[in-house]
Amino acid sequence: MVSQAISSLAILKVNWDTLHRDYIENFVPFVAQCILLLKPSVVSVSDLQSKMLDEFGLQVPQNALKVILKRAVKRGYCRREEQMYVPNYDALNRLDFESTRQRVLREHSALIGKLIQFASEKYASQLQEEEAERVLLAYVTQRDVELISYLVSGTPISETKTIPNRDYYLLNIFVRHLYESDPEGFNYLDTVVKGHMLANALIFPDLTRVQSRFHRTAVYCDTALILRALGYEGSASQAPCKELIDLLYQLGAEIQCFRHTHDEISSILYACMRALDSRGGEIGSGRTFHYLSDTGYKQSDVELELKRLGRRIEAMGIKIVDKPEYSEHLQIDEGDLDKVLQADVKYGVERDRARLHDVDCLSAIYRLRKGRDRYDIEDCGALFVTCNGTLCQSSQDFFHKRDYMAEGTVPLAITDYTLTTILWLKRPMSAPNLPLKYIVAQSYAAMNPGDHLWRKYLTEISSLKDRGDISSDDYYLLKAAPLARVGLMDLTMGDEEAFVEGTPYEILERVKQTIKAEEVARLEEEGKRRAEVERELQFERTRSKEREESQIQKINGLSRALARWLSKATFVILMVLLLFGAYASFPESLPNFRLFWLNYLPSIGFAILTVVGILNLIFGFTLRDYMNRLEVFLATKIEEKLTSWFLP
């Protein structure tokens, strides 16, 4: 059943990509396949509902099935005869549903295999296939109860238990692993998550009104939502919040926040500013503080953020407004609401201001609705959006049980997840990747411990410091180092019960070993970089030497060529002079040349011939020897001159 439910979600996404018409069309292939498997003479809506659950794990309300059957008639899979639906088996047999199903099942098996392998290698957890499927389905559908409680009773898929903390943490780490290292697995997860979003369309009482726009409705953003949209908890958390705000604007909603919400954001940033350069600051789990600290914010940086906070909020399209005046006939018992929220939400001692802020917001939304019962989110008048699901459920129970609001009306507060689902179903093409961005943001946020676990941890390490069991430096390391938070979550997997007396020591040892390993790795990396630089320098020196040697060879060759040419020219000149000298030694006189200087050539030639003859008689001199010497001499001088010109 679990495997069927997950693969059905994936098929829904495939149908959407293929058919791309509307939500009713997505479910027509499922209904047609069920009719083909049932082989009835007349379609029974109740039998069809049971078959959808058995075959695909999809629990479809009968009213929705009737709407889908009408569309199946238009597609030719059945025909209407006397208020009954009669199958058209010729058309049904041409349905190519099984090939899509088999492809999705192969991808599903691959993803489950990746999850089992990851759990084994990362946490030595031996998951069986059925358990891995159950955990994955519970992870994807964990917040359905919020959407169901907001809309109507019923669920688009078979019921699942609340996912345990350890499984929740494991799946979040697995999602991060897929996102960062396994695109293929992440793509299939994307298919399942978007399919689940599409399946949520079944929850709506009227499938035809899913895509309606907002009308005369102001949506008021809570503190955490704005902090994330501003980027104070990291880019992963910022992306889905910004797209949520953009979708609200596109669908005609007025996006606002109360001035006291702005003031609460200011107080959080101010507390972060004071704690950033202090070893003693205590601000609870402090996701904003942890992000600012981990990313290197200084007090001056946060002070600048505080000065431009209002402008940044309004730049996102969120208008800052005052809460409405109190009215006697719209007055609620805020003291009673305060007690209920404290009992249900369990605010810490340091979060009194947060609780009072929530009471103020809920009371203000009730006054803005002027006591009127609203049954459609699109024209409910005012709506408070928060990231706290417990706050939404507690407030809904309070206003219904005290008869401030009728059953079935739009609650005063809904979660960002519920609103994200509703808005994405209205405009999926405007933010196609919003579901995955939300899941990725959730996986990154899961790296931070919850409020209760963090307070328990801080109390324990403070006690260890006071007793002298750990030094002040160790205490600060355990409290402020990002590695300590990662270690706490890895050891406990987010489960408060898994935190025992020796946990801080184990975390401290792990942090120190990690820091040491990182330092060793840094030194090794630095050594590798130095070696690489040295290799590059050596390579460059070798190349430079090769280039220099090449130039020297070219210069040497050119010098020898020039010297050889000059020596040959000199040899030719001397030979001419010698010939003239030899000719001049004969008895007959030479004729007079027209150019007077030519008359001296015979005498010069005779003189050279005489000198050469004497030198040859005494020293065995030959003209070729001197020409060779001259060539070498000229080559040396030319090479020296060219080298001084062209080489450094």
Q: Is the pLDDT of residue 169 over 90?
A: no
Say what angle helices 472-480 and 503-584 make with each other, to 10 degrees. Answer: 80
Residue, of 351 and 305, whose pLDDT is higher:
305
Q: Evaluate whether 195 touches 100 at the Cβ level (below 8 Å).
A: no
Q: What is the pLDDT of residues 135-166, one digit of tens each?
A: 888 888 777 666 656 654 334 444 444 677 78
Q: Which two tokens stand for residue 419?
A: 């609103």
pLDDT of residue 154: 36
pLDDT of residue 309: 94
Q: What is the pLDDT of residues 21-31, one digit of tens each?
A: 677 888 888 89
Cα separation, 148 vs 159, in Å, equals 12
In this prediction, residues 206-234 reach a mean pLDDT of: 86
Q: Is the pLDDT of residue 220 over 90?
A: yes
DSSP single-letter state for residue 600: G
Q: Is the pLDDT of residue 634 over 70?
A: yes
In this prediction, residues 156-180 reach a mean pLDDT of: 75
Helix (H, G, I), strand (E, B) or coil at 279: coil
pLDDT of residue 284: 46
Q: Evaluate whether 510 touches 486 at the Cβ level (below 8 Å).
A: no
The backbone torsions φ and ψ at residue 579, rounded to the nearest 5 degrees and listed phi first, read -65, -40
| R_g (Cα) of the chain, nearest Å | 43
In this prediction, residues 552-571 reach a mean pLDDT of: 75
Residue 223 neighbours by CB under 8 Å, 6+ apart: 261, 264, 265, 268, 354, 357
Nearest to 44 by CA among 23, 64, 65: 65
pTM: 0.72
Torsion of CA 289, 291, 296, 297, to 10 degrees: -50
DSSP string, 317-360: TPEEEPPPPP-GGG---HHHHHHHHHHHH---GGGHHHHHHHHH
pLDDT of residue 591: 55
pLDDT of residue 160: 46
pLDDT of residue 21: 65
DSSP single-letter state for residue 470: S
In this prediction, residues 366-393 reach a mean pLDDT of: 89
Q: Is the pLDDT of residue 257 over 90?
A: yes
In this prediction, residues 187-209 reach a mean pLDDT of: 75
Q: Which two tokens stand for residue 351?
A: 């979060």
In this prediction, residues 548-564 reach a mean pLDDT of: 75
- The whole-chain average pLDDT of the chain stands at 81
Q: Evaluate whether 146 touches 392 at the Cβ level (below 8 Å).
A: yes
* Amino acid identity for residue 312 in this structure: R
pLDDT of residue 598: 55
Q: Which of 142-156, 284-298, 394-408, 546-560 has the lowest mean pLDDT?
A: 142-156
Cα separation, 185 vs 111, in Å, equals 6
Nearest to 458 by CA among 514, 503, 405, 521: 503
All structural domains of the chain, each given as residue ranges with its CATH number in brackets, are 2-98 (1.10.10), 102-196 (no CATH), 213-424 (no CATH), 451-501 (no CATH), 511-646 (no CATH)
DSSP string, 180-217: HH-HHHHHHHHHHHHHHHHHGGGGSS-GGGTTPPP-S-
Residues in the chain: 648
pLDDT of residue 440: 84
Helix (H, G, I), strand (E, B) or coil at 253: coil
In this prediction, residues 383-396 reach a mean pLDDT of: 90
Nearest to 69 by CA among 52, 45, 93, 38: 45
Residue 600 neighbours by CB under 8 Å, 6+ apart: none
DSSP string, 11-51: HHHHHHHHH-S-HHHHHHHHHHHHHHHH--SS--HHHHHHH
In this prediction, residues 470-487 reach a mean pLDDT of: 82
Q: Which of 350-359, 404-413, 481-490, 573-582 has the lowest mean pLDDT?
A: 573-582
Q: Evaluate whether 418 touches 396 at the Cβ level (below 8 Å).
A: no
CA 467 vs. chain centroid, Å, equals 43
In this prediction, residues 449-456 reach a mean pLDDT of: 78
Residue that is written with structure tokens 């109740």 in the block: 46
pLDDT of residue 554: 76
Nearest to 478 by CA among 495, 466, 490, 464: 464
Q: Is the pLDDT of residue 361 over 90?
A: yes
Q: Evaluate whether 22 touches 68 at the Cβ level (below 8 Å).
A: no
> 6 pLDDT band (50/70/90 cuts)?
confident
pLDDT of residue 543: 79
Share of the chain above pLDDT 90, in %: 19
Share of the chain above pLDDT 70, in %: 83
Q: Is the pLDDT of residue 605 over 90?
A: no
Q: Report which secondary-structure segment, H or E, holds 625.
A: helix 623-646
Cβ-in-10-Å burial (0-12, 13-18, 19+) of 45 comes to middle
Q: What is the pLDDT of residues 543-553, one digit of tens each?
A: 777 777 777 77
Q: Evaluate whether 77 touches 36 at the Cβ level (below 8 Å).
A: no
pLDDT of residue 458: 82
> In this structure, which long-range contacts are made by residues 373-379, counting pairs with CB atoms below 8 Å and at least 24 apart in sequence?
373/405, 373/406, 373/409, 374/409, 374/410, 375/408, 375/409, 375/410, 376/209, 376/410, 377/214, 377/217, 377/410, 377/414, 377/422, 378/212, 378/213, 378/214, 378/215, 378/217, 379/214, 379/215, 379/216, 379/217
DSSP string, 562-586: HHHHHHHHHHHHHHHHHHHHHHHTS
Cα separation, 92 vs 76, in Å, equals 8
In this prediction, residues 251-278 reach a mean pLDDT of: 90
Half-sphere exposure of 226 (CA within 13 A, CB side): 32
Say what angle helices 287-294 and 482-492 make with each other, to 10 degrees. Answer: 130
Q: What is the pLDDT of residues 491-514, one digit of tens each?
A: 887 777 777 778 888 888 888 888
* Amino acid identity for residue 323 in this structure: K
Q: What is the pLDDT of residues 310-360, one digit of tens each?
A: 999 999 999 999 999 988 888 899 999 999 999 998 786 667 888 999 999
Q: Is the pLDDT of residue 102 over 50?
A: yes
pLDDT of residue 101: 82
Sign of CA dihedral 573, 575, 578, 580: negative
Helix (H, G, I), strand (E, B) or coil at 242: helix
Q: Is the pLDDT of residue 640 over 90?
A: no
